[in-house]
């Protein structure tokens, strides 16, 4: 069976053109935004000489293709240039900001799965009954409410009315960090779990009425075994890719949630970098996001191959 996993060795080669494409697009797009990093940095009352000085310092006075050439050259050497506003190495900057974002994505996905699987199971096994309708109505709310609003409501409820959890920030110790992650993760999980729940519920209902389930029942298997041993393993297969697509979206989507909860992560960094036209940081963060998305989809491919013996990649 090991030959089915051979793509793990070859697939990363296909990532190179994707990453290259992303680098070109972010590089060009970020320079199409009106405004000049030097002018943003130095303010309005400034001599043209000072601006030219800063531009020369960061190589912004050179033709764009040459700038890109240096960008790629540096990238291959493991460098992303210097931030104009923070005045430190971009890679170093990102490394201090990556932990909250990773923690947020991981805890949101975990929470989403923990919410989605039991709800989908209850809804699917009681299809058409009151529980099913209730779950579906709640899930419609989850999809309907925008995350910034949901975040504010959660803060109002759990930090202001009932002061259980902190309003914002991150903290230093592990327990502090975990406490600070509860509301941001819940904000994301409330909408992500509904997407997963709907897909899982539909797949579970399909498999509950499938020939596989009928055959298991005809062998005298009780409904619980039919469900957890035959229905669930088959129903999760299509949800794996859905989850991967959503994690990709989520990595970019942390921007809003990190801003609302003042989490010092990559999303927040990206927002500040865009406002200050800090090209190097925007490029760097975009590259990290792109690589992360590609990597998550790669993991999803491995998971799909593991979950479904028929899949060949």
Q: Which residues bind another protein (CB under 8 A)?
A: 1, 6, 10, 210-212, 214-222, 225, 229-230, 233-234, 237, 307-310
The DSSP 8-state label assigned to residue 58 in this structure reads T
Residue 88, both tokens: 């430190």
Given the complex with another protein, which of 15 and 145 has the nearer CB atom? 15
Given the complex with another protein, which of 87 and 219 has the nearer CB atom? 219
- Using only C-alpha atoms, the chain has a radius of gyration, in whole angstroms, of 24
Given the complex with another protein, which of 49 and 211 has the nearer CB atom? 211
Given the complex with another protein, which of 48 and 220 has the nearer CB atom? 220
CB of 19 to another protein, least distance (A): 21
Given the complex with another protein, which of 20 and 215 has the nearer CB atom? 215
CA–CA gap between residue 129 and residue 139 (Å, rounded)? 16
Phi, psi values for residue 2, rounded to 5°: -65, -25
CA–CA gap between residue 267 and residue 279 (Å, rounded)? 15
CB of 217 to another protein, least distance (A): 6
Given the complex with another protein, which of 62 and 234 has the nearer CB atom? 234
Burial of 72 per CB tally in 10 Å (0-12, 13-18, 19+) = middle
End-to-end CA distance of the chain: 13
CB of 230 to another protein, least distance (A): 5
CB of 245 to another protein, least distance (A): 21
CB of 215 to another protein, least distance (A): 4
CA–CA gap between residue 256 and residue 262 (Å, rounded)? 10
CB of 236 to another protein, least distance (A): 9
CA dihedral (297, 298, 304, 305) in degrees, to 10, reads 160
């Amino acid at each position: 069976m090991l030959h089915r996993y051979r793509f793990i060795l070859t697939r990363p080669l296909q990532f190179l053109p994707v990453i290259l494409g992303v680098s070109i697009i972010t590089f060009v797009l970020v320079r199409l935004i009106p405004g000049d990093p030097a002018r943003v940095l130095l303010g309005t009352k400034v001599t043209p000489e000072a601006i030219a000085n800063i531009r020369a310092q960061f190589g912004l006075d050179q033709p764009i293709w040459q700038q890109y050439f240096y960008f790629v050259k540096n990238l291959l050497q493991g460098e992303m240039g210097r931030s104009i506003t923070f005045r430190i190495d971009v890679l170093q900057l990102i490394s201090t900001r990556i932990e909250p974002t990773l923690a947020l994505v991981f805890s949101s996905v975990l929470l989403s799965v923990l919410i989605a699987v039991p709800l989908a199971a209850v809804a699917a096994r009681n299809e058409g009954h009151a529980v099913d309708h209730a779950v579906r109505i709640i899930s419609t709310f989850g999809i309907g409410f925008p995350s910034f609003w949901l975040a504010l409501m959660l803060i109002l409820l759990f930090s202001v009315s009932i002061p259980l959890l902190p309003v914002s920030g991150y903290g230093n110790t592990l327990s502090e960090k975990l406490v600070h992650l509860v509301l941001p993760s819940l904000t994301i999980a409330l909408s992500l779990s509904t997407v997963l729940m709907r897909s899982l519920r539909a797949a579970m209902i399909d498999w509950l009425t499938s020939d596989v389930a009928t055959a298991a029942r005809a062998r005298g298997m009780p409904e619980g075994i039919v469900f957890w041993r035959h229905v669930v393993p088959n129903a999760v297969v299509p949800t794996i890719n859905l989850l991967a697509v959503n994690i990709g979206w989520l990595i970019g989507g942390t921007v809003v949630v990190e801003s609302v909860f003042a989490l010092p992560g990559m999303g927040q960094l990206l927002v500040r970098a865009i406002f200050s036209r800090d090209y190097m940081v925007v490029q760097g963060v975009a590259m990290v996001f792109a690589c992360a998305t590609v990597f998550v989809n790669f993991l999803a491919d491995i998971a799909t191959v593991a979950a479904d013996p028929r899949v060949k990649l």
